[in-house]
Structure 1
Amino acid sequence: MVSKRGRIDQFIAGTLQVSKKAVRELLITNKVLVDGQFAKSPDLQINEFSHIECNGVVLRHYQKQYYMLNKPDGVVSATIDDKHPTALGLMIGVNTDMLHIAGRLDLHSTGLLLLTNDARWSEALMAPEHKVDKKYLVTLANPLDQQYVEAFANGMYFEYENITTLPAQLTVLSSHLARVVLREGKYHQVKRMFGRFRNPVLALHRESVGEIMLDNQLTPGEFRSLTKAEVDSVFQH
């Protein structure tokens, strides 16, 4: 979602289809309220979450929304798809018009998926330069050994994009199970890194993003609103 920031006079003129002169009259005569305060200046800056009234009629009122979803296998991280059920389609009872996904998961990957209508929040969470930890539980087809740990810690060069991945933490939990912590999200990165060892990923489950951990009370397909502490944790780095 693109942040909808701009001037109050442009918003009123466009919404009501009136002239800038008419807007100035509305402002002068205290007919416009922004977040409960009379708007006086035509260049007052507003955003997508500004509560705007004119002559007692609400012209804009969007509340910030933050959700976690336990994404099931076979669900796409998208708003619309012709072949598969979508993550937004699971958000029963929620106004999804402005929601977008902060950090997608592949079709067959499961676990923590974050959805919001706050572009500033999702940018702080997912922008590469912020290097937020993303933790995954990975089930492999073949046994693991110490070589994997060292290779992930050193980073891997992907010739196609001409990039080297950031150091990643791999913890071997059992012969075929590992926990991986990334600070970036390249295309199919986890699967491609294990692919260097010709070890297919059988299951990929995201456990956390930053300080936000998947609620283990949520069954696949269920969701809940984030707590204030979870929302605020994104801006504490």
Structure 2
Amino acid sequence: MERLQKVIAHAGVASRRKAEKLIVDGKVKVNGKTVTELGTKVSSNDDVEVEGVPIDKEQPVYYLLYKPRGVISSVSDDKGRKVVTDYLPEVEERIFPIGRLDYDTSGLILLTNDGEFANLLMHPKHEVDKVYIAKTKGIPTKDQLQQLKKGLTVDGEYLKAVHTKIMSTDGKKNTAIVQIILHEGKNRQVRRMFDALGYPVDKLKRERYGSLDLKGLNAGDYRPLKPFEVKQLRQMAEENVK
């Protein structure tokens, strides 16, 4: 038996907090009867409906995708562009990406049908390392990179890096390869931070997420996460939000 809001969250319908509100608002039925009590527990044999739509009792699944550039971090696109789920055609469950990578950014992105797990990782205080490699137009100084660690305000939003490091430079082409580690996942954060310094990002790739990396994968490849990897990510996030 599991709490009703947890079952709804696991199905990817809503976050646990949103699921609780749906229950209180009388929008959830169990075996045809409206339930408003948050302590309600259900089993796999119970039929659960949210706003009149039955939820699928799928087993949770977890995948890692090496997203190519020019792909939308979504399950659909009204302009007909490729989306991340196009690269996992054999997966039958209704998976969705955890967070997003920009259209022009490549690299590691996670997909799941476990809404609770996704919301845990996206919690603003989870502090899971996200490691990016950026190719910049122009070569930033160490002092300028230090500014990214101190944090800066861009368009009224405070943006901050955990770590920055110049990996290599090309004096003739006037470019640099910079490693930058974030805990946040704000919209176009890396590009906006470097733009603010005056060094536009030409290419951007997320190489690592927590303990996960892209080893053995080419752009467009994916693999299921191993159970210990899921457990590791969950523990990492839970420890940091306490």
TM-score range normalised by the length of the shorter chain: 0.7 to 0.9
CA–CA separation in structure 2 for the residues paired with 1:142 and 1:153: 19
- Quote the residue 2:45 is aligned against: 52
Tell me whether 1:178 sits opposite 2:174 in the alignment.
no
Equivalent positions of 1:82-161 (< 5 A) are 82-97=79-94, 99-158=95-154, 160=155
- Quote the residue 2:232 is aligned against: 233
User: Which secondary structure does the structure 2 equivalent of 1:233 belong to?
Assistant: helix
User: Which secondary structure does the structure 1 equivalent of 2:58 belong to?
Assistant: coil
CA–CA separation in structure 1 for the residues paired with 2:194 and 2:74: 26
Give the partner amino acid of 1:208: R
CA–CA separation in structure 2 for the residues paired with 1:155 and 1:132: 18
CA–CA separation in structure 1 for the residues paired with 2:100 and 2:161: 21
User: Which secondary structure does the structure 2 equivalent of 1:73 belong to?
Assistant: coil
Larger Rg: 1
Residues 167, 105 of structure 1: alpha-carbon distance in 2 compared, 3 angstrom cutoff: closer
Please list the CA deviations of residues 106-140 of structure 1 after superposition, one character each: whole Å capped at 9, or x if unmatched.
11100101001111111111111222221101111
How many pairs align? 199
Q: Is the 8 A contact 1:52 1:60 kept in 2?
A: no
- Quote the residue 1:201 is aligned against: 201
> TM-score normalised to the size of structure 2?
0.74
- Quote the residue 2:5 is aligned against: none
Residues 203, 110 of structure 1: alpha-carbon distance in 2 compared, 3 angstrom cutoff: same
User: Which secondary structure does the structure 2 equivalent of 1:199 belong to?
Assistant: coil
Equivalent positions of 1:40-79 (< 5 A) are 44-46=40-42, 51-52=44-45, 61-79=57-75
Q: Is the 8 A contact 1:148 1:170 kept in 2?
A: no
**140-149 or 195-204: bigger deviation:** 140-149
- Quote the residue 1:165 is aligned against: 159
CA–CA separation in structure 2 for the residues paired with 1:220 and 1:137: 15
User: Which secondary structure does the structure 2 equivalent of 1:218 belong to?
Assistant: coil
Superposed structure 1 runs of 4+ greater than 3 Å apart = 3-7
Residues 139, 124 of structure 1: alpha-carbon distance in 2 compared, 3 angstrom cutoff: same
**Alignment partner for residue 32 of structure 2, among 13, 27, 34?**
13
Task: Give % identity.
Answer: 29
CA RMSD of aligned residues (A): 2.5
Q: Is the 8 A contact 1:73 1:110 kept in 2?
A: yes
Q: Is the 8 A contact 1:66 1:226 kept in 2?
A: yes
User: Which secondary structure does the structure 1 equivalent of 2:125 belong to?
Assistant: helix
Please list the CA deviations of residues 20-77 of structure 1 after superposition, one character each: whole Å capped at 9, or x if unmatched.
9xxxxxxxxxxxxxxxxxxxxxx7513xxx52268xxxx9531001000000011110
User: Which secondary structure does the structure 2 equivalent of 1:128 belong to?
Assistant: coil
